[in-house]
Structure 1
């Protein structure tokens, strides 16, 4: 019988080293850029989470909890009339302006399936008439499933590449990721598969701005919102409305 050895072979040491320093932290995006850190983390697992946001209509949102777990829910159409053709249901992380970032969240559409069934991600928001948004829809056309810019005129599609659409399904949560880098204007959108973007765009009209989520004119839920970047600027948001304190 061979004597017992306490030595590890080379492959064992390599595996341990990879686990120690070569793998991203739990829940951290792969290949996180140098200098990026977690800047915002909201699990949306309690009603107080709503206080983090400014909204086009706070009355259209609520905290909900069912068999799929807790979430913030857009349960009805917002009472909001945009100055130019653009989404109605918007919730932005209040008082935080982000430059380059990686934004992740879990989304669930509660709308019955139809071609324009959507949820949206907003970024580079300067004010209600200057911002970008990602429209995630079942079927792509000139007004759906694209990256759009709202630049004091009706929204304009700017994606260089998109898929033919996505499947929201019924009562199905989906993980989304949005990457923004202003130096080269790049915008990348991921849906469930975090290795291959479903949309890409390039634009440098708006640099830093507020970011958030919502829908053009549908309903749905959101949770597990996180933002990574190198820095965040704290500036009081001067537009949209804040939820009223609970009584």
Structure 2
């Protein structure tokens, strides 16, 4: 069953020690369920303030609607920031590990995602949008409603200790 309210990622782990503003995140991502079902996915959540205020990168075997896009969850609404005309070909169509890099510049609002871009000189963003709605927030890794694995995770950038732990499902994490 889905959580109540706006449709949003359901299964993810929050990196609790720090909130991030401007940062780069590099990792490897793999789908853990049969990718023959085209809607399988992995998500990278960032600028997470609470359960219904954050951005997420949705990497999927589809490239339509809310699949394969950068999305902003803003209370009761979910907005796809990646224009349909700019949707790339789906790459999450197998169980292979894919290198994913997320670059976020909070001052300019630029958000870039690179997938399987191993050569920095020739790399082109898989997604690129500009949005300044959120600044500080937690980073989380997971899936909308599937299973995905993440490895070799590196986060660098502007970080701070949170004033309070992240809330989940309307409650506050108590450290247990």
1:91-130 mapped onto 2 (5 Å cutoff) = 91-113=13-35, 114-130=37-53
2: CA distance, partners of 1:111 / 1:183: 37
Provide the residue aligned with 1:225 in structure 2. Answer: 153
Worse-superposed segment, 160-169 or 199-208: 160-169
Runs of 4+ that moved beyond 4 A = 241-244
Provide the residue aligned with 2:60 in structure 1. Answer: 137
Q: For 1:183, which of 107, 111, 120 is the aligned residue?
A: 107
Whether 1:167 aligns to 2:92 is: yes
Question: Kindly tell me: are residues 218 and 128 of structure 1, through their superposed partners in 2, closer, same or farther at Cα, counting changes over 3 Å?
Answer: same
Please tell me whether the aligned partners of residues 138 and 166 of structure 2 are also in contact (alpha carbons under 8 angstroms). no
Specify which structure has the higher proportion of strand. 2
Question: Kindly tell me: are residues 164 and 191 of structure 1, through their superposed partners in 2, closer, same or farther at Cα, counting changes over 3 Å?
Answer: same
Q: Deviations over 1:129-186 (max 9, x none)?
A: 100000001111112110000000232100143302113413x111111000111110
TM-score, normalised relative to structure 1: 0.62
Aligned residues: 164
Specify which structure has the higher proportion of helix. 1
SS in 1 for 2:167: coil
Provide the residue aligned with 2:10 in structure 1. Answer: 88
The gaps in structure 2 that reach 5 residues or longer are none
1:68-79 mapped onto 2 (5 Å cutoff) = none
Please tell me whether the aligned partners of residues 104 and 225 of structure 1 are also in contact (alpha carbons under 8 angstroms). yes
Based on CA coordinates, which of the two structures has the bigger radius of gyration? 1
Give me the CA root mean square deviation: 1.8
Please tell me whether the aligned partners of residues 99 and 232 of structure 1 are also in contact (alpha carbons under 8 angstroms). yes
